[in-house]
Structure 1
Amino acid sequence: MSQKRPQEDGKARPSEAFSPDQDKRRRVPTLRNVVQEVMKLQSVQHLLEPVLEPLIRRVVREEVEAALRKNLNNMKRNGGKEVNSTESRSLQLQFLNNLSLPVFTGARIEAEECSAVKVAMVDALTGQIVSSGPEASAKVEIVVLEGDFDGDEGDNWTLEEFKNNIVREREGKKPLLAGDAFLTLTEGIGLVDEISFSDNSSWTRSRRFRLGARVVDGSDGTRVKEAKTESFIVRDHRGELYKKHHPPSLSDEVWRLEKIGKDGAFHKRLSRENINSVKDFLTMLFIDPPRLRHILGTGMSAKMWDVTVEHAQTCVLDKRVYLYCSPGSLQKFGVVFNIVGQVTGLLLECQYITLDKLSETEKAHLLLSDFVLSIYSFCLCH
């Protein structure tokens, strides 16, 4: 047999190319290679240490400081909300009572029932008076506003609109408000001091005024919505000579009552019947109301009559009462009445019985008795 010749192309046989021994020899690194790799790693580490370490430290420090600053700002912001309530509330000034009308120049501006005008700091969301915090002691200025000032959307005016509607005095005149127009709130409430108008309102575009109130400091930069009253007319002081009194007094002339003008038709009719004072009017009202109504005549409508009577009955009476006893009754039977002849009760067998405990029949019989004329005569004499 002829022997096989080796491959002439120098390529190994497949079994020789992938023999396990050859593969293992190729994969086992030599000592020289290992040393070179270790030297390279050490060189790189030696090179990067002075560069990377400060960089890493700086990045970590900056991240920590940023996190601390963010946390601190959150704490301040949350703490500020607890301390400064204006951030979570909508504050506004508000007049707590209505003005006493009419208003005259030179006369003190008052609220109803001769009380002082009150201004308060109010939380607009809850309607409660703010009684604590810096806002509760804010300084407030009272100003005069145009009577037709309502804002573009009713009560939702801007600060600029409020300022533009402040009325200043006429050229050559004194300041429109005389007195101290500034007040300081105490626990959220302030009283308007002695102020008055030095000029009437007839020269303004609406011929009417309003009072306004605005904060001048103490709001920490947060706007507090201003307050305004209803519009009103300011008349010259000479008009006060004809002013109606609220409430009237017994000694007031009868024309001080509503719907009865001085020297007018009703005044003259009453004068002819010797009804000259409020006391005279009330006495006739309680003793003989149909007669009083007849004296005033048909020129006074039912509505006018109701207004006049209601005004007269607001008169404050003293607490004195009188007793009229029937002749020969030995004071066992009598009628108790007040200064204007209004019956308040009866005296029966030395026992006082109030009018509200009498039946309607007993009341009617009493009013038709001779006691009425006797009481009326007594009141005219006193």
Structure 2
Amino acid sequence: MAAAKRIASSSAENDDDHQLRGKRPRSIPSFASVIGEVMLVRSFQGLCDSLEPLIRRVVNEEVERGIQRSMRTITRSPSLRIQAREPASLRLIFTNTTLPMIFTCNTILDNNGQQLQLMLVEKIGDQITPKTLPYPIKIELVAIEGDFPSPIDRDTWTPAEFNKKVVRERNGRRPLLLSKEVNYSMKNTSYLSVGDVEFTDNSSWIRSRKFKVGARVVVESCNGVRILEAVTDAFVVKDHRGVSYQKHYPPKLNDDVWRLEKIGKDGTFHKRLRNAGIFTVQDFLKLSVVDPQKLKLIIGERTGITERMWDTILKHAKTCEIGNKLYITRGSNFTLILDAICQTVSVKSDAQHSQDITACLKGEVDQLVKNAYENWNSLEVVERPVDTILQQAQAIAMAECNNSDLMQYEVVFGGIIEVDSNTQAINQNDEIGFGDWETSDHIFN
């Protein structure tokens, strides 16, 4: 019992000591420490006040330098400039924009076999006039995508849009477009002939499958003047290994017959024609006039040939220029004048009346034509006068306009010329279009 009282008394004393310690007042800082802290704050504030102008000046200088560098970068970079699509008054143009299919490693020529021709012009509204600058400009040729420009931008574009469509060579290849000179110079003239330009790669690997030739002025040579770039029409570029199999448009009389469409070199049609003695386009056309059914049987031996394919071959062959050579063959009553593909141009008869000709004309003329075809190399050859060719072309055009029937050839007999199917006789001295053969006496006398 006594022990419990001592424990309780001891616990109470400990609680009283704890409460006394919690109620002790905090220590008060000394005056010296307060004065020291105040002096330290005032010293730091003075330091900041003294450094502030220096810091402001340094920051301003650095900001100005950064802005100037950014402005120079934007000025130099065409891709970051905002360019207005305003039509340039000065522009380069190709005077011969239409180009045929081209083979690699072959000089680029237009449809007439001429070199590319560039011209500097000034366009004001719809009026275009040649322009000569007082200083020389350098011109660079480049390969352009075949789908540039778009229909919307056909008349104007920015340099960035043009440069974006420049086609570069494929990896590991030679430069895509090779020219005689790196830069062509135009000085004291508005015309420039561009020769010895060729592609080194075909156009099958780009999206449009076609190229264009573009011409742009070197920036350093134009004195800050905007000159719109020139572009040709789009064209296909094929590998030069296919040039030996190229079709000709139009074909020539002495071309191999496989130059015609649908007839492949050393193919089935070519072999059949060659075995039948038809080697050239002229041979093909002559037989198509004399006996077209025989020609169709030769080409379509066994399997035949569709009308569509036959029409394609014949249509291409008929675009051939037959020239002005005439071939003369004589029979017992008639003398025939044929053109280079065995078409009858004129018939001279010893008969004195049109009735005599009407009765026997067709059969004997057809036989004479067949004989002439079989003995072609023995025929007499003369040149047709140019005036007569023009007259014949005019007469054909007039007949087509009037939807009138036109005889395939004229018949000359006893100073009278047969001019239509109604056997209308006209004096030979009158002017009657292509039927008036001023050279008849010269040829037959």
Q: TM-score, normalised by structure 2?
A: 0.55
Map 1:243-258 to 2 at 5 A: 243-258=246-261
Partner of 1:180: 180
Shift of 1:287: 2.0
- Aligned residue number for residue 311 of structure 1: 316
Residue in structure 1 matching 2:289, options 280, 286, 296 = 286
- 1:231 and 2:211 aligned: no
- Equivalent residue pairs, number: 282
Q: Which amino acid aligns with 1:144?
A: A
Q: Which runs of 5 or more structure 1 residues have no equivalent in the other structure?
A: 1-86, 352-360
Instruction: Supply the distance in 2 between the matched residues of 1:207 and 1:196 (Cα, whole angstroms).
Output: 17
After superposition, the C-alpha distances for 1:193-235 in whole angstroms (9 at most, x for unaligned) are 1111122223334443221111236644221221222333322
Distance 1:381 1:326, change over 3 A: closer
Counterpart of 1:271 in structure 2 is: 274
Could you tell me which amino acid in structure 2 is paired with residue 190 of structure 1? L
* Sequence identity (%): 37
Give the CA deviation at 1:345.
1.4
Q: CA deviation at 1:270?
A: 2.6
The answer for unaligned runs of 5 or more in structure 2 is 1-85, 353-357, 380-445
**Kept in 1: contact 2:120–2:131 (CA 8 A):** no
Residue 191 of structure 1 corresponds to 193
Q: Deviations over 1:316-358 (max 9, x none)?
A: 445432211113x4xxx3001133312221234599xxxxxxx
C-alpha distance in 1, partners of 2:368/2:138? 63
Distance in 1 between the 2:226 and 2:163 partners? 13
Is 1:107 paired with 2:112?
no
CA distance in 2, matches of 1:260, 1:98: 30
1:138 to partner: Cα distance: 4.7
Aligned-residue CA RMSD in angstroms? 3.6
Deviation at 1:159, TM superposition (A): 1.0
Deviation readout 1:123-171 (Å, 9 max, x if unpaired): 4445555324318975432210123333593424321011121122233
- C-alpha distance 350-95 of structure 1, shift in aligned 2 (>3 A): farther
Deviation at 1:90, TM superposition (A): 2.1
Q: Separation in 1 of the partners of 2:370 and 2:89?
A: 65
Question: Structure 2: which amino acid aligns with 1:107?
Answer: N
CA–CA distance in structure 1, aligned partners of residues 93 and 295 of structure 2: 44
Matched residue SS, 1:247: coil
Q: What is the TM-score with the length of structure 1 in the denominator?
A: 0.63
Partner residue in 2 for 1:79:
none
In structure 2, what residue type is equivalent to 1:166? V
Q: CA deviation at 1:108?
A: 0.8
- 1:267-314 deviation per Cα after TM superposition (whole angstroms, max 9, x unaligned): 344334332211211211222234334544464443x54443343234
Change (3 A) 1:219 1:289: farther
Deviation, 1:89, is: 7.0
Q: Secondary structure at the match of 1:279?
A: helix
Structure 2 counterpart of 1:150, which letter? P
CA contact (8 A) 1:340 1:379 kept: no
